[in-house]
Amino acid sequence: MAHRIFHYLLLGMVLLGSSVLQAQENSTYRLSSGDVISINVFGEEDLSFEELRLNDAGIFSFPFLGEIRARGLTASQLEDLLTERLKGDYLISPRVSISVLQYREFFISGEVREPGGYPYQPGLTLRRAIALAGGMTERASTNRITIIRDQSGSSEKGSLDSIVMPGDTITIDQGFF
């Protein structure tokens, strides 16, 4: 009996830890094209959207307000922007919440078995990204990996423990034998 209670307690701690990690990541995560968000304006069904994909410019259309540029904003910043713009002319005291439902893809090419775009998952490492792409080919080099960061456009040398972010482009080069 005690073993079963310990098991459920451990499972609960893992789930709580993963939701805390997700919340922390969402607080610093910058929105961009391809992200899918939900918008909830409390008590205003016509202004709430269960699933909204940001276009190529990171923009979406919102009733009464027109085009809203979300690219580069955190979910919290977007909440503040919508709250401020809805306040006064449209609503007295709007309460807006934004959730990221689906992150944009990351891309992996070069010496992997199945190059292409893959859905981002919070906590993704380069090792796991390579596994999603079917693993490395026999000619792949673990020392010649480049990651181009979507947010900054910077290029960096990657290791198998590097963190992958949404929109990143990863290239696995050939090793010299």
* DSSP sequence for 49-63: EEEEE--TTSEEEET
What is the predicted pLDDT for the residue at 20? 40
Q: What is the mean pLDDT of the chain?
A: 86
CATH for 106-174 (3.40.640.10, 3.10.560.10, 3.30.1330.40, 3.40.50.300): 3.10.560.10
More confident residue, 177 or 165: 165
What is the predicted pLDDT for the residue at 84? 95
State which H helix or E strand residue 102 sits in: strand 96-102
Give CA separation, 52 vs 72, 94, 100, 109, 152, in Å.
16, 19, 10, 29, 24
More confident residue, 131 or 150: 131
* Helix, strand, coil percent content, the chain, rounded in steps of 5: 30, 35, 40
Asked if the model's pLDDT at residue 8 lies above 50, the reply is: no
pLDDT in tens, 36-51: 999 999 999 999 999 9
- Portion of the chain with pLDDT greater than 70, in percent: 84
What is the predicted pLDDT for the residue at 89? 81
Q: Where are the domains of the chain?
A: 36-102, 106-174
* Residues 157-177, mean pLDDT to the nearest whole number: 90
DSSP annotation of 45:
G
Asked which of 6-20, 47-61, 74-88, 130-144 is least confident by mean pLDDT, the reply is 6-20
What CATH superfamily is the domain 36-102? wza like domain (3.30.1950.10)
What is the predicted pLDDT for the residue at 122? 87
What is the predicted pLDDT for the residue at 90? 82
